[in-house]
Structure 1
Amino acid sequence: MQKTLEDVDSMVVSLKAAVSMVLEREDVLRCEISVAEALTNIVAHAIPKTAEAYIDLIVTEVPQAVVIEIFDPAGADAFDPRDHVTVLQPVDPMAESGRGLGLILKCADVVRYGPVDGRNRLSLAFLKTGGNQSRPEKPIAMQSGENS
Protein backbone atom coordinates (compact mmCIF):
# COMPACT_ATOMS: atom_id res chain seq x y z
CA MET A 1 0.00 0.00 0.00
CA GLN A 2 1.10 3.54 -0.52
CA LYS A 3 2.15 5.44 2.59
CA THR A 4 -0.96 7.64 2.89
CA LEU A 5 -3.70 7.90 5.51
CA GLU A 6 -6.31 7.28 2.81
CA ASP A 7 -4.72 3.92 2.03
CA VAL A 8 -4.78 2.95 5.72
CA ASP A 9 -8.59 2.92 5.75
CA SER A 10 -8.95 0.80 2.62
CA MET A 11 -6.23 -1.61 3.77
CA VAL A 12 -7.89 -2.11 7.16
CA VAL A 13 -11.26 -2.79 5.48
CA SER A 14 -9.64 -5.36 3.16
CA LEU A 15 -7.78 -6.96 6.03
CA LYS A 16 -10.92 -7.16 8.15
CA ALA A 17 -12.73 -8.97 5.34
CA ALA A 18 -9.86 -11.45 4.97
CA VAL A 19 -9.45 -12.31 8.65
CA SER A 20 -13.16 -12.37 9.49
CA MET A 21 -13.39 -15.78 7.83
CA VAL A 22 -10.86 -17.18 10.31
CA LEU A 23 -11.07 -15.20 13.56
CA GLU A 24 -13.95 -14.74 15.99
CA ARG A 25 -15.69 -11.33 16.02
CA GLU A 26 -13.83 -9.97 19.09
CA ASP A 27 -10.51 -11.12 17.65
CA VAL A 28 -11.27 -9.40 14.33
CA LEU A 29 -11.88 -6.16 16.24
CA ARG A 30 -8.57 -6.51 18.12
CA CYS A 31 -6.82 -7.18 14.82
CA GLU A 32 -8.49 -4.19 13.16
CA ILE A 33 -7.47 -1.83 15.99
CA SER A 34 -3.86 -3.07 16.06
CA VAL A 35 -3.30 -2.88 12.32
CA ALA A 36 -4.99 0.53 11.98
CA GLU A 37 -2.78 1.91 14.76
CA ALA A 38 0.39 0.36 13.33
CA LEU A 39 -0.27 1.61 9.79
CA THR A 40 -1.24 5.08 11.00
CA ASN A 41 1.99 5.31 13.01
CA ILE A 42 4.07 4.23 10.01
CA VAL A 43 2.37 6.78 7.75
CA ALA A 44 2.80 9.57 10.30
CA HIS A 45 6.28 8.83 11.59
CA ALA A 46 8.35 6.49 9.40
CA ILE A 47 10.96 8.05 7.19
CA PRO A 48 10.71 8.56 4.24
CA LYS A 49 7.64 10.69 4.86
CA THR A 50 6.42 10.62 1.28
CA ALA A 51 3.42 9.00 -0.37
CA GLU A 52 5.79 7.35 -2.86
CA ALA A 53 7.09 5.13 -0.07
CA TYR A 54 5.38 1.77 0.27
CA ILE A 55 4.30 -0.38 3.20
CA ASP A 56 4.02 -4.11 2.56
CA LEU A 57 1.68 -6.46 4.43
CA ILE A 58 1.57 -10.23 4.50
CA VAL A 59 -1.29 -12.03 6.26
CA THR A 60 -0.85 -15.73 6.98
CA GLU A 61 -3.06 -18.25 8.70
CA VAL A 62 -1.13 -20.76 10.80
CA PRO A 63 -2.77 -23.57 12.80
CA GLN A 64 -3.08 -21.55 16.02
CA ALA A 65 -3.22 -17.93 14.81
CA VAL A 66 -3.47 -15.33 12.10
CA VAL A 67 -0.14 -13.53 11.66
CA ILE A 68 0.08 -10.09 10.09
CA GLU A 69 3.52 -8.89 9.02
CA ILE A 70 3.85 -5.18 8.32
CA PHE A 71 7.03 -4.00 6.62
CA ASP A 72 8.14 -0.37 6.95
CA PRO A 73 9.12 1.53 3.81
CA ALA A 74 12.65 0.75 2.66
CA GLY A 75 15.17 2.90 4.53
CA ALA A 76 12.93 3.66 7.52
CA ASP A 77 14.58 3.87 10.92
CA ALA A 78 13.92 0.99 13.31
CA PHE A 79 11.15 1.64 15.85
CA ASP A 80 10.21 -1.23 18.13
CA PRO A 81 6.82 -0.36 19.65
CA ARG A 82 7.58 -2.50 22.70
CA ASP A 83 10.34 -0.04 23.64
CA HIS A 84 8.19 3.09 23.37
CA VAL A 85 4.81 2.18 24.83
CA THR A 86 3.22 4.37 27.46
CA VAL A 87 0.92 3.13 30.18
CA LEU A 88 -2.71 3.14 29.03
CA GLN A 89 -4.00 4.29 32.43
CA PRO A 90 -4.74 7.03 33.20
CA VAL A 91 -5.98 8.07 29.78
CA ASP A 92 -6.45 11.73 28.98
CA PRO A 93 -9.76 11.77 27.08
CA MET A 94 -8.76 15.00 25.35
CA ALA A 95 -5.45 13.65 24.01
CA GLU A 96 -5.39 13.21 20.25
CA SER A 97 -2.50 10.77 20.27
CA GLY A 98 -0.21 8.73 22.47
CA ARG A 99 -2.25 5.58 22.99
CA GLY A 100 -1.64 3.72 19.73
CA LEU A 101 1.39 1.70 20.78
CA GLY A 102 -0.33 0.65 24.00
CA LEU A 103 -3.38 -0.42 22.02
CA ILE A 104 -1.25 -2.51 19.67
CA LEU A 105 0.41 -4.30 22.57
CA LYS A 106 -2.88 -4.75 24.42
CA CYS A 107 -4.83 -6.06 21.40
CA ALA A 108 -2.32 -8.38 19.72
CA ASP A 109 -1.59 -11.73 21.35
CA VAL A 110 2.03 -11.74 20.15
CA VAL A 111 4.07 -8.73 19.00
CA ARG A 112 7.49 -9.13 17.38
CA TYR A 113 9.68 -6.52 15.73
CA GLY A 114 12.98 -6.67 13.92
CA PRO A 115 14.82 -6.55 10.62
CA VAL A 116 13.93 -8.99 7.84
CA ASP A 117 15.71 -8.81 4.48
CA GLY A 118 16.88 -5.25 5.09
CA ARG A 119 13.48 -3.90 6.17
CA ASN A 120 11.87 -3.42 9.56
CA ARG A 121 9.01 -5.83 10.24
CA LEU A 122 6.25 -5.64 12.83
CA SER A 123 4.63 -9.05 13.29
CA LEU A 124 1.25 -9.22 15.04
CA ALA A 125 -0.33 -12.57 15.89
CA PHE A 126 -3.96 -13.10 16.86
CA LEU A 127 -4.69 -16.50 18.37
CA LYS A 128 -7.61 -18.47 17.00
CA THR A 129 -10.42 -19.54 19.27
CA GLY A 130 -13.29 -21.90 18.61
CA GLY A 131 -13.33 -24.35 15.71
CA ASN A 132 -10.70 -22.73 13.49
CA GLN A 133 -7.68 -23.78 15.55
CA SER A 134 -6.58 -26.76 13.47
CA ARG A 135 -6.74 -25.27 9.99
CA PRO A 136 -3.48 -25.63 8.03
CA GLU A 137 -0.96 -22.88 7.36
CA LYS A 138 -1.78 -20.82 4.29
CA PRO A 139 -1.41 -17.28 3.00
CA ILE A 140 -4.58 -15.24 3.41
CA ALA A 141 -3.54 -12.02 1.71
CA MET A 142 -0.52 -10.08 0.60
CA GLN A 143 -0.38 -6.41 -0.25
CA SER A 144 2.87 -5.29 -1.80
CA GLY A 145 3.49 -1.65 -2.52
CA GLU A 146 5.20 -2.60 -5.74
CA ASN A 147 2.06 -4.29 -7.07
CA SER A 148 -0.69 -2.05 -5.67
Structure 2
Amino acid sequence: MRRAFEMPATIDAVDPTVVSLKAVAAGYLSDDKLAAFEIALCEALVNVVEHAFDGAGTGAITVEFEAGSDTVALVVSDMGRPAPPDLFQNAPALEAIDTMAESGRGLSLIGHLADGVSYRSSDGTNRLTLEFVRGDGS
Protein backbone atom coordinates (compact mmCIF):
# COMPACT_ATOMS: atom_id res chain seq x y z
CA MET A 1 0.00 0.00 0.00
CA ARG A 2 1.25 3.45 -0.90
CA ARG A 3 -0.17 6.85 0.06
CA ALA A 4 1.07 10.42 -0.14
CA PHE A 5 0.26 13.24 2.27
CA GLU A 6 0.91 16.95 1.70
CA MET A 7 1.16 19.50 4.46
CA PRO A 8 2.09 23.17 4.69
CA ALA A 9 5.45 23.74 6.36
CA THR A 10 3.92 24.99 9.61
CA ILE A 11 4.08 23.70 13.18
CA ASP A 12 0.26 23.68 13.32
CA ALA A 13 0.16 21.16 10.46
CA VAL A 14 2.49 18.65 12.14
CA ASP A 15 0.06 17.06 14.60
CA PRO A 16 -2.82 16.48 12.14
CA THR A 17 -0.39 15.00 9.63
CA VAL A 18 1.14 12.68 12.24
CA VAL A 19 -2.34 11.59 13.40
CA SER A 20 -3.39 10.80 9.81
CA LEU A 21 -0.24 8.80 9.08
CA LYS A 22 -0.41 6.97 12.40
CA ALA A 23 -3.97 5.86 11.57
CA VAL A 24 -2.74 4.40 8.28
CA ALA A 25 0.31 2.76 9.87
CA ALA A 26 -1.74 1.18 12.69
CA GLY A 27 -2.73 -1.70 10.43
CA TYR A 28 0.90 -2.53 9.67
CA LEU A 29 2.93 -2.01 12.85
CA SER A 30 2.89 -3.44 16.37
CA ASP A 31 1.97 -1.05 19.19
CA ASP A 32 5.65 -0.53 20.11
CA LYS A 33 6.66 0.15 16.51
CA LEU A 34 3.66 2.45 16.06
CA ALA A 35 4.77 4.54 19.04
CA ALA A 36 8.31 4.76 17.60
CA PHE A 37 6.83 5.66 14.18
CA GLU A 38 4.75 8.47 15.70
CA ILE A 39 7.61 10.04 17.68
CA ALA A 40 10.16 9.77 14.85
CA LEU A 41 7.74 11.24 12.29
CA CYS A 42 6.80 14.12 14.59
CA GLU A 43 10.46 14.92 15.27
CA ALA A 44 11.28 14.76 11.55
CA LEU A 45 8.43 17.06 10.52
CA VAL A 46 9.18 19.60 13.26
CA ASN A 47 12.84 19.63 12.19
CA VAL A 48 11.88 20.27 8.56
CA VAL A 49 9.54 23.11 9.52
CA GLU A 50 12.06 24.71 11.89
CA HIS A 51 15.30 24.16 9.99
CA ALA A 52 14.51 23.79 6.28
CA PHE A 53 11.91 26.58 6.36
CA ASP A 54 13.05 28.55 9.45
CA GLY A 55 9.53 28.20 10.88
CA ALA A 56 8.39 30.82 8.36
CA GLY A 57 5.28 28.91 7.30
CA THR A 58 6.15 29.01 3.62
CA GLY A 59 6.58 25.93 1.51
CA ALA A 60 5.18 22.44 1.58
CA ILE A 61 6.20 19.03 2.84
CA THR A 62 5.24 15.72 1.26
CA VAL A 63 5.21 12.49 3.22
CA GLU A 64 4.98 9.25 1.26
CA PHE A 65 3.90 6.16 3.17
CA GLU A 66 4.62 2.71 1.82
CA ALA A 67 3.88 -0.59 3.52
CA GLY A 68 5.97 -3.43 2.15
CA SER A 69 5.98 -7.05 3.19
CA ASP A 70 8.72 -6.53 5.80
CA THR A 71 8.89 -2.79 6.41
CA VAL A 72 6.93 0.42 6.53
CA ALA A 73 8.76 3.32 4.91
CA LEU A 74 8.22 7.06 5.11
CA VAL A 75 9.82 9.49 2.70
CA VAL A 76 9.65 13.10 3.89
CA SER A 77 10.37 15.48 0.99
CA ASP A 78 10.70 19.25 0.93
CA MET A 79 12.27 22.01 -1.12
CA GLY A 80 13.61 23.99 1.84
CA ARG A 81 17.19 24.61 2.86
CA PRO A 82 19.15 21.33 2.75
CA ALA A 83 20.69 19.81 5.85
CA PRO A 84 24.32 18.68 5.95
CA PRO A 85 24.71 15.36 4.09
CA ASP A 86 26.19 13.72 7.21
CA LEU A 87 23.27 14.86 9.34
CA PHE A 88 22.64 11.54 11.07
CA GLN A 89 26.28 10.42 11.24
CA ASN A 90 27.03 13.40 13.51
CA ALA A 91 23.96 13.06 15.76
CA PRO A 92 24.88 12.31 19.37
CA ALA A 93 24.11 8.87 20.75
CA LEU A 94 20.78 8.72 22.55
CA GLU A 95 22.45 8.13 25.93
CA ALA A 96 24.63 11.24 25.43
CA ILE A 97 21.79 13.74 25.09
CA ASP A 98 20.36 15.83 27.91
CA THR A 99 16.87 14.45 28.47
CA MET A 100 15.79 17.74 30.05
CA ALA A 101 16.92 19.90 27.13
CA GLU A 102 14.17 21.70 25.22
CA SER A 103 15.78 21.02 21.87
CA GLY A 104 18.63 19.12 20.26
CA ARG A 105 17.26 15.61 20.79
CA GLY A 106 15.37 15.11 17.53
CA LEU A 107 18.07 13.54 15.35
CA SER A 108 19.12 11.16 18.12
CA LEU A 109 15.52 10.12 18.72
CA ILE A 110 14.85 9.60 15.02
CA GLY A 111 18.03 7.55 14.63
CA HIS A 112 17.20 5.44 17.68
CA LEU A 113 13.50 4.86 16.93
CA ALA A 114 13.62 4.13 13.20
CA ASP A 115 15.12 0.85 12.01
CA GLY A 116 16.64 2.61 9.02
CA VAL A 117 17.36 6.28 8.30
CA SER A 118 18.80 7.94 5.23
CA TYR A 119 18.96 11.53 4.03
CA ARG A 120 19.88 13.04 0.71
CA SER A 121 19.44 16.33 -1.06
CA SER A 122 19.58 16.68 -4.82
CA ASP A 123 18.11 18.91 -7.51
CA GLY A 124 16.60 21.21 -4.86
CA THR A 125 14.69 18.46 -3.05
CA ASN A 126 15.54 17.08 0.37
CA ARG A 127 14.48 13.50 1.15
CA LEU A 128 14.53 11.86 4.55
CA THR A 129 13.64 8.17 4.51
CA LEU A 130 12.61 6.36 7.68
CA GLU A 131 12.06 2.60 7.77
CA PHE A 132 10.32 0.56 10.44
CA VAL A 133 10.44 -3.22 10.48
CA ARG A 134 6.94 -4.60 10.64
CA GLY A 135 6.14 -6.38 13.88
CA ASP A 136 3.14 -8.15 15.32
CA GLY A 137 0.78 -5.66 13.65
CA SER A 138 1.42 -7.06 10.18
Question: What is the TM-score when the length of structure 2 is the normalising length?
Answer: 0.85
Larger Rg: 1
Percent identity over the alignment? 37
Find the partner of 2:106 among 86, 90, 100: 100
User: 1:123 corresponds to which residue?
Assistant: 129
1:17, 1:117 → 2: CA distance? Answer: 32
For residue 23 of structure 1, give the secondary structure of its aligned residue in structure 2: coil
**What is the aligned length?**
131
Q: Deviations over 1:86-122 (max 9, x none)?
A: 2222443431011110000000001011136641100
**For the Cα contact (< 8 Å) 1:87–1:102, is it kept in 2?**
yes
**For the Cα contact (< 8 Å) 1:59–1:66, is it kept in 2?**
yes
User: 1:78 corresponds to which residue?
Assistant: 83
User: 1:61 corresponds to which residue?
Assistant: 67
1:91, 1:77 → 2: CA distance? Answer: 24
In structure 2, the gaps of 5 or more residues are: 1-6
2:101, 2:23 → 1: CA distance? Answer: 30
1:121, 1:92 → 2: CA distance? Answer: 27
For residue 82 of structure 1, give the secondary structure of its aligned residue in structure 2: coil
CA gap 1:91/1:42 in 2 versus in 1, 3 angstroms: same
2:72, 2:114 → 1: CA distance? Answer: 10
For residue 130 of structure 1, give the secondary structure of its aligned residue in structure 2: coil
Aligned AA for 2:21?
A: L
Please give the root-mean-square deviation of Cα atoms over the aligned residues, in Å. 1.8
